């Protein structure tokens, strides 16, 4: 079976993601996938619907950690971010915390 591949640039990815999310989270996710593609020995297939479902976007690490079922009553934002990073992939942007849903 033959496959055709199109090399995607940053703008290709971010423009598609911005149909579903704001610029900052879209930019962080696009940069993540471009870094992954640079280190991969095989082409990475981009499924935008899967990407949108793969990540959740939160205004703070405390809210993200709370949403994952943790008690956040006695921790600050930095502690919440560290706890999230121990659990899953966390991407940071200027306006949001992007968490992989794993």
Using the structure block, give the residue that is written with the tokens 């610029």: 23
Are β-strands 55-58 and 97-100 bridged in parallel, bridged antiparallel, or unpaired? antiparallel
The residues, any chain, with a CB within 8 Å of residue 50's CB and separated by 6 or more, are: none
Residues 6+ apart with CB under 8 A from 27: 14, 93
Does residue 59 sit in helix, strand or coil? coil
Within 10 A of 20 (CB to CB), how many other CB atoms are there? 12
Q: pLDDT, tens digit, for every residue of 6-25?
A: 677 788 888 889 999 999 99
pLDDT tens across 73-101, in order? Answer: 999 999 999 999 999 999 989 999 999 99
């Amino acid at each position: 079976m033959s496959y055709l591949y199109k090399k995607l640039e940053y703008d290709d990815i971010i423009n598609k993601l911005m149909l579903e999310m704001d610029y900052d989270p879209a930019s962080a996710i696009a940069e993540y996938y471009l870094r992954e593609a640079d280190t991969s020995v095989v082409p990475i297939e981009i499924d935008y619907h899967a990407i949108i479902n793969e990540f959740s976007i939160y205004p703070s690490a405390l809210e993200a950690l709370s949403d994952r079922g943790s008690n956040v009553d006695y921790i600050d934002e930095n502690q919440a971010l560290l706890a999230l990073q121990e659990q899953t992939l966390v991407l940071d942007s200027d306006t949001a915390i992007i968490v992989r849903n794993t």
